[in-house]
Amino acid sequence: MSYCKQEGKDRIIFVTKEDHDTPSNAELVAEDPDDPYEEQGLILPNGDINWNCPCLGGMASGPCGSQFKEAFSCFHYSKEEVKGSECIDQFRNMQECMQRYPELYPQEEEKEDPTSVVSDSATTADATTPDSAVASESDSASSVSRPETDSTLPKDG
């Protein structure tokens, strides 16, 4: 015979081999949208924001949680032609708060474009000879903007 044991919010059910031999007569219960343990997405079925959604990465809590909630709510419920255009002040408040806690909200540094690093170092290397820098720029520009002459092309005359 099976029996149950309650441990906190969990209910542990022990079953016997005989319990598994008979088909289940369990009835499925409709999902309760108010169940705090039920996995929900970012937007609840009633249209509200699920502040407990793991997809928010904890942004709704912490020292800037209220500013985040104000900004995100403003954007979510925005009816403007450009969605969220009326929320600039709320996002600015949130950003200012996050800047006060850099250890909790690290700022992503802008990644440099690899081509800009090369061109910067090339300009620095050529700085000792300004004429060669100008010549190399004009040479590379001409090779990009004009097609190479091809001996297979028909020639006038």
Quote the pLDDT of residue 35. Answer: 62
63/56 Cα distance (integer angstroms) = 15
Q: Is a pLDDT exceeding 70 seen at residue 142? A: no
Q: Helix, strand or coil for residue 58? A: coil
In a domain, 125, yes or no: no
Place of tokens 């474009």: 113
Q: pTM of the entire structure?
A: 0.47
Least confident of 34-48, 52-66, 88-102, 125-139: 125-139
Q: Which is nearest to 133 in space by CA: 119, 148, 146?
A: 119
- Residue predicted with more confidence, 50 or 36: 50
Q: Please say if the pLDDT value at position 73 is more than 70.
A: yes
Asked if residue 101 belongs to a domain, the reply is: yes
Cα–Cα distance, 94 to 150 (Å, whole number)? 60
Residue 72 — φ and ψ, nearest 5°?
-65, -40
In a domain, 6, yes or no: no
In percent, the amount of the chain with pLDDT more than 90 equals 28
User: Which residues constitute the domain of residue 88?
Assistant: 40-106
Average per-residue pLDDT in the chain?
Answer: 73
Position 132 pLDDT exceeds 70: no
Q: Is residue 28 part of a domain?
A: no
pLDDT of residue 74: 96
* Two structure tokens written together for 63: 């020292």
What are the b/e assignments for 94-106, b being 16+ CB within 10 Å?
A: beebbeeeeeebe
| Confidence at residue 54, expressed as pLDDT on a 0 to 100 scale | 87
Residue 66 has pLDDT above 60, yes or no: yes
Residue 82 domain flag: yes
Residue 6 has pLDDT above 70, yes or no: yes
Tokens standing for residue 135: 């010549």
- pLDDT band at residue 45 under the 50/70/90 scheme: confident
Given a cut of 50, is residue 60 above it in pLDDT? yes
Tally the domains of the chain: 1
pLDDT of residue 98: 94
CATH number, residue 96: 1.10.287.2900
Q: Judge whether 88 lies within some domain.
A: yes
Residue 144 lies in a domain: no
- Are the beta carbons of 103 and 97 closer than 8 angstroms? no
Structural domain includes residue 57: yes
